[in-house]
């Protein structure tokens, strides 16, 4: 059971889903679940495993749902007295006849960003060099094989040297959820426009927001005039303005970045603020 639960947790994190893991860490007397019993829940409230069943498990499942509404990693330890008259320091009474005590550790795990770099040129290379030290993952797609190979991107999770059509041929809303962010960094205007259309059509057909929570956030490098051209072309292709408004262009915080290395810093700082749900325009954001 432990291996199955932990394997399931890792799978959810790889697919960009937050997970709460509950583990029985100590017991005393008669209890339904022994030390080491585990239960895990993901953000759609589906779950695997058990911490013993009955009223105890219901309380834990309810707490998992509450923790999954939070946006920052957190952990807590709760001790339950399995008797409605249980007393003691920091012991929560439970309407049960077991009579023992059980201590459960709960941890909300939020997946680290996994960024899809679409276009493997200078900016993508600069971004990729910063990512290993953050613990974030990245993948690369480029129509040119020389810009999507392991020597240039040694830490990439996925490398796709194929056309835009070929890449999206088997992609769905479920498969794209493995990415937290998709960045359009291509060398060719038309390629980035084709990428954008395909991404937005998938999101629109599934009524999914581009919020990094179930479907990737999307950003494009370029000027505002380029974005206006992109937006007009997408609207003509049937994309609704509400989906276009979720796309960030130009990407990156406005810190005066010029070189690919400076742009990489600005882009990752922006993604970090979105990942941490921090409003960098608020005068009090540093206090959070």
Q: What is the mean pLDDT of residues 223-250?
A: 95
Confidence category of residue 286, pLDDT binned at 50, 70, 90: low
What order do you get walking across the sheet with 91-93 strand by strand? 47-49, 38-42, 19-28, 101-109, 74-81, 91-93
The share of the chain scoring above pLDDT 70, in percent, equals 90
> In the predicted model, what is the mean pLDDT of the chain?
89
Q: What is the pLDDT of residue 83?
A: 63
Confidence category of residue 203, pLDDT binned at 50, 70, 90: very high
Confidence category of residue 82, pLDDT binned at 50, 70, 90: low
Q: What is the mean pLDDT of residues 234-248?
A: 96
Question: The tokens of 144 are what?
Answer: 């040119």
| Cα–Cα distance measured from residue 118 to residue 247, given in angstroms and rounded to the nearest whole number | 15
Q: What is the mean pLDDT of residues 63-86?
A: 81
Question: Could you report the per-residue pLDDT of 14-28, keeping only the tens digit for each?
Answer: 888 899 999 999 988
Provide the phi-psi class of 92: left if phi over 0, else alpha when psi is between -120 and 50, else beta: beta
Closest Cα to residue 168, out of 197, 210, 209, 125? 197
Question: The tokens of 113 are what?
Answer: 């960003």
Confidence category of residue 282, pLDDT binned at 50, 70, 90: low
Q: What is the pLDDT of residue 93?
A: 46
Q: What is the pLDDT of residue 29?
A: 76
Please check whether residue 224 is in contact with residue 250, taking contact to mean a CB–CB distance below 8 angstroms. yes
Q: Is 80 exceeded by the pLDDT of residue 100?
A: no
Q: Is 50 exceeded by the pLDDT of residue 62?
A: yes
Tell me the sheet residues that pair with 103: 26, 79
Q: Is 90 exceeded by the pLDDT of residue 256?
A: yes
Q: Is 70 exceeded by the pLDDT of residue 52?
A: yes
Confidence category of residue 54, pLDDT binned at 50, 70, 90: confident
Question: Could you report the per-residue pLDDT of 132-175, keeping only the tens digit for each?
Answer: 989 999 999 999 999 999 999 999 999 999 999 999 999 999 99
Which residue ranges make up each domain of the chain? 2-109, 114-275
Residue 41 to residues 18, 30, 47, 62, 264, Cα–Cα distance (Å): 9, 26, 4, 10, 35
pTM of the complete model:
0.84
Give the 3-state secondary structure of residue 166. Answer: helix
Closest Cα to residue 187, out of 250, 124, 249, 270? 124
Q: Are strands 137-142 and 114-118 parallel, antiparallel or unpaired?
A: parallel
Cβ neighbourhood burial of 76 (10 Å; 0-12, 13-18, 19+): exposed
Q: Is 90 exceeded by the pLDDT of residue 79?
A: no
Q: Is 50 exceeded by the pLDDT of residue 90?
A: no
Q: What is the mean pLDDT of residues 53-67?
A: 88
Q: What is the mean pLDDT of residues 95-111?
A: 79
Class of domain 114-275: alpha beta
| Cα–Cα distance measured from residue 251 to residue 221, given in angstroms and rounded to the nearest whole number | 6
Count of CB atoms situated within 10 Å of the CB of 236: 9
Q: Is 60 exceeded by the pLDDT of residue 96?
A: no
* Higher-pLDDT residue of 196, 86: 196
């Amino acid at each position: 059971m432990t291996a199955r639960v932990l394997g399931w947790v890792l799978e959810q994190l790889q697919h960009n889903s937050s997970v709460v893991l509950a583990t029985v860490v100590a017991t005393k007397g008669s209890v339904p679940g022994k030390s080491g019993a585990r239960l895990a829940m993901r953000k759609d409230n589906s779950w695997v495993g058990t911490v013993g069943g009955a009223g105890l498990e219901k309380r834990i499942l309810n707490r998992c749902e509450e923790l999954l509404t939070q946006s920052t990693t957190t952990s807590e330890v709760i001790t339950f007295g399995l008797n409605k008259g249980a007393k003691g320091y920091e012991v929560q009474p439970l309407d049960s006849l077991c009579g023992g005590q059980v201590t459960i550790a709960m941890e909300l795990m939020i997946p680290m960003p996994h960024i899809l770099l679409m276009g493997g040129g200078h900016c993508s290379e600069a971004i990729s060099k910063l990512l290993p030290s953050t613990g974030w993952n990245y993948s690369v797609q480029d129509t040119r094989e020389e810009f999507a190979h392991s020597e240039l991107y040694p830490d990439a999770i996925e490398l796709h040297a194929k056309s835009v059509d070929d890449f999206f041929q088997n992609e769905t809303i479920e498969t794209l959820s493995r990415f937290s962010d998709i960045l359009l960094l291509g060398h060719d205007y038309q390629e980035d426009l084709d990428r954008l259309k395909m991404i937005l059509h998938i999101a629109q057909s599934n009524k999914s927001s581009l919020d990094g929570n179930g479907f990737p956030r999307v950003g494009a490098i370029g000027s505002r005039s380029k974005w206006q051209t992109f937006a007009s072309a997408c609207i003509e292709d049937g994309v609704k303005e509400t989906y276009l408004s979720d796309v960030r262009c130009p990407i990156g915080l406005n810190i005066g970045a010029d070189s690919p290395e400076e742009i990489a810093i600005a882009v990752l700082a922006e993604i970090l603020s979105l990942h941490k749900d921090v409003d960098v325009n608020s005068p009090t954001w540093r206090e959070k």
